[in-house]
Amino acid sequence: ELGVRKELRRQQNYELSVGAQTAGDDRRLDFVGDFAVVKFFKGAKAFYRFLFGFGWPFDGNSGPSWDEMGSALGVTQQNLPPHGRGALTIGWRTGLFSSGLETVAHPNLIRERSANKAASSGPLRKRSPVDLLDSTPYATYGVD
């Protein structure tokens, strides 16, 4: 496992960075990277991270290949109890191009059904599902 983070720019209370992490063995390799922007306040910080990753098995090994993108946006309140070592983070995570269970009918399907109901003749076209963003609010509390 190998990880690296490079601070690209820091001005007053802002920080722009890029990071990468790999994990693997003789059977597979996985890679995760991110671009991050952080705004520092007195006792708090706001952040945005764009994450991307992919992984695959090496030749002759079985296992899933994957690739994902997503982002995280949030605020962390620092210096909380106990003894100023606590941190509360509230944010929103979004996965892009998710192939999960959440899907929605294509907008054209709604128009087609409305038109077909009005005409009540003519075939209804096949559904064309489109993936929704896999998004979730979150809150965490931790102690350093």
Rounded to an integer, the average pLDDT of 129-142 is 76
The reported pLDDT for the residue numbered 18 is 97
Q: What was the pLDDT predicted at 103?
A: 43
d(CA 79, CA 38): 17
pTM across the whole model: 0.67
What's the pLDDT at 63? 83
Q: What is the pLDDT of residues 2-42, one digit of tens each?
A: 999 999 999 999 999 999 999 988 888 999 999 999 999 99
Q: What is the pLDDT of residue 111?
A: 55
Of 17-31, 36-50, 101-115, the range with the highest mean pLDDT is 36-50
How distant, in Å, are the alpha carbons of 18, 33, 132 from that of 30? Answer: 17, 10, 25
pLDDT at 112: 55
DSSP three-state, residue 122: coil
pLDDT at residue 118 in the model = 53
Q: Of 29, 35, 1, give the one whose Cα is nearest residue 15.
A: 35
**84, burial (CB in 10 Å: exposed 0-12, middle 13-18, buried 19+):** exposed
Q: What is the pLDDT of residues 55-100, one digit of tens each?
A: 999 887 888 888 888 899 999 999 999 999 999 999 998 886 544 4
pLDDT for the residue numbered 129: 52
